[in-house]
Amino acid sequence: MHAFCHRCGGDLAAESSGTVFCPHCGAPQIYLPEAAEGESADAVSTGVAPPPPPQQVDWRAAIVCAMLVALVGALLSALSTRLAAVSFISWMWTLSASVIALGLYQRRRPQAQMDAMVGARIGVLVGVTLITAVAVTMAVAGLVARYHLHAMAAFDAELRAQIDKAAMASPQPAEVMRYIYSPEFKAGIMLAGFSMLAGFILILSTVGGAVSGLLRTRRS
């Protein structure tokens, strides 16, 4: 590889010859090693690999905020089964869970990057955490109410009335009706209903997080 003098422009000897002065004008020459393939220029110039880019989301703080919001939401959901007045508060908390979590996150990390993408990612975390907390809480509350308090008669009667109404609207053979009235089918109805509700909460939490993050946009 040939090089040229930075002062006179004369042709220099090959780098391997060890020449450090121009043979024409005597100007000292400086040779910089070329970066190896896949190696950054910062690593060549300083001899130290550049630091990794900062995380877009502080997941530890985000998980703490999501868990706080989810615990409150699960408690309100359990109370709403016994107190009808709490149902509205529980629904409002569920609808605004991602917004509340983002507010807590930004309070804990005021200098953290914030935009629509960060808000959406935290919103997904909040949705998954809230769904899990509510599912576990409602399952435990249902077991206690059925087998300890024996207070599920009203719920069973309401579910039976809904099945009777659907059966009258669309009559089925006797063997199908026996399956429809079985405990397994009732459990499947409840799981399907909760799955639809969980999907709605997850989508709502993601969209709410994205919108809230967009309104709170901040670059670190």
Residues 99 and 164 reside in one and the same domain: yes
Tell me which of 35 and 156 has the higher pLDDT: 156
What's the residue count for the chain? 220
In Å, how far from its chain's centre is CA 139?
A: 24
* Residue 54 within a domain: no
Residues 195 and 157 reside in one and the same domain: yes
Residues 115 and 168 reside in one and the same domain: yes
* Residue 187 within a domain: yes
pLDDT confidence band for 50 (50 / 70 / 90): low
Q: What is the structure's pLDDT at 6?
A: 66
How far apart CA 19 and CA 21 sit, in angstroms, is 6
Q: What is the structure's pLDDT at 102?
A: 93
Q: Is 125 exposed, middle or buried (0-12, 13-18, 19+ CB in 10 A)?
A: buried
Tell me which of 218 and 122 has the higher pLDDT: 122
Range of the domain at 77: 59-215
Residue 157 has pLDDT above 60, yes or no: yes
Q: Average pLDDT for residues 2-6, to the nearest whole number?
A: 68
pLDDT confidence band for 122 (50 / 70 / 90): very high
Residue 198: closest CA among 133, 114, 154: 133
Residues 70 and 162 reside in one and the same domain: yes
Lowest mean pLDDT among 18-22, 64-68, 208-212, 214-218: 18-22
pLDDT confidence band for 33 (50 / 70 / 90): low
* Residue 220 within a domain: no
Q: Vertex 182, ends 177 and 185: CA angle to 5°?
A: 90
* Residue 49 within a domain: no
- Structural domains of the chain, count: 2
Is residue 20 within 8 Å of residue 82, measured between CB atoms?
A: no
* Residue 51 within a domain: no
